[in-house]
Amino acid sequence: MTNSRLLTLSAFMFALFAPFGTNSLAAPIEVAKQSFHAKRLPASFFAGNRARLLAELKKMGPGTIAVIKSMPEQNRNGDSTHMYRQDSDFYYLTGVEEAEAVAVLDADSNEGYSLYVRKRDPRREAYDGVRLGVEGALKLGANKAESFPAAEEQLKLAVNKAQRVVLISNFDEEFRRKVLDWVYPFGSDNNHASHKRILVDGRNLAAEMRLIKQSAEMAIWRQ
């Protein structure tokens, strides 16, 4: 490449990128949170879905809980991820569009909806968008909420206290193995009274619920 072409290319690159560098120093850029669900369903829709699932859990007997896991983030390259798309079952039951979230429904409690979410982090939120945090989780209808890593112990305690754990986790194999270890501790033959717990794959329950579409869903499709 000739010197004249090199100079021309350098000038072009400077003109292209220099304004962005100047603006970024003058004021931070707000990054809007991306979402696959542009149209928001009402809170009553998600609450109704949870009530229907709770009714199914009650049929299984006392000591039954459901643990529902969000979709993990998918790496795009070394330092970024693909645009996030929530697991359909998790969204159907919670309305939450964040990663690293876990919902627990306790069939023995009238206020048995717990939601565990990511901890607020202003630095990361400047890049990835605002996180719910505990306050946001409560506003979305949770009776109890906690953020990770503190939520890990509460989640483990809920699983250990339950006699039957209905797990709805479509894509997070690592989380499924963690719950499996909690339900059936290593070295246990499950004959001891404290270890007589059952892990149930609840994905079919969510699939049956989502099979028949509700009026709120149909209205959005028409729009």
What pLDDT score was predicted for residue 40?
78
Task: With a cut of 70, say whether residue 18 has pLDDT above it.
Answer: no
What pLDDT score was predicted for residue 114?
96
Task: With a cut of 90, say whether residue 136 has pLDDT above it.
Answer: yes
Average pLDDT in the chain = 82
**CB-CB neighbours of 132 under 10 Å:** 21
149 CB contacts (<8 Å, ≥6 apart)? 119
| Greater model confidence, 58 or 1 | 58
Torsion angle defined by CA atoms of residues 189, 191, 194 and 198, in that order, rounded to the nearest 10 degrees: 80
Task: With a cut of 60, say whether residue 71 has pLDDT above it.
Answer: yes
- pLDDT (tens digit, 9 = 90+) per residue, 34-51? 455 567 788 999 999 999
Confidence of residue 2 (pLDDT cuts 50, 70, 90): low
Which tokens in the block code for residue 145?
């909420």
Confidence of residue 1 (pLDDT cuts 50, 70, 90): low
User: For 169, which DSSP code?
Assistant: -
| Greater model confidence, 1 or 22 | 1
Residues 99, 148: Cα–Cα separation, whole Å: 12
Q: How much is the average pLDDT of 60-74?
A: 93
What pLDDT score was predicted for residue 188?
57
Which tokens in the block code for residue 84?
């996030």
- pLDDT (tens digit, 9 = 90+) per residue, 141-195? 999 999 999 999 999 999 999 999 999 999 999 999 999 999 988 755 555 545 5
Cα–Cα distances in angstroms (integers) from residue 39 to residues 33, 42, 131, in the given order: 14, 10, 19
Q: Assess contact for 118 and 96: CB atoms under 8 A.
A: no
Residue ranges of domains in the chain, CATH in brackets:
43-222 (3.40.350.10)
What pLDDT score was predicted for residue 47?
95
- pLDDT (tens digit, 9 = 90+) per residue, 91-101? 999 999 999 99
Q: Assess contact for 93 and 56: CB atoms under 8 A.
A: no
What pLDDT score was predicted for residue 44?
93
| Greater model confidence, 39 or 135 | 135
Task: With a cut of 80, say whether residue 23 has pLDDT above it.
Answer: no
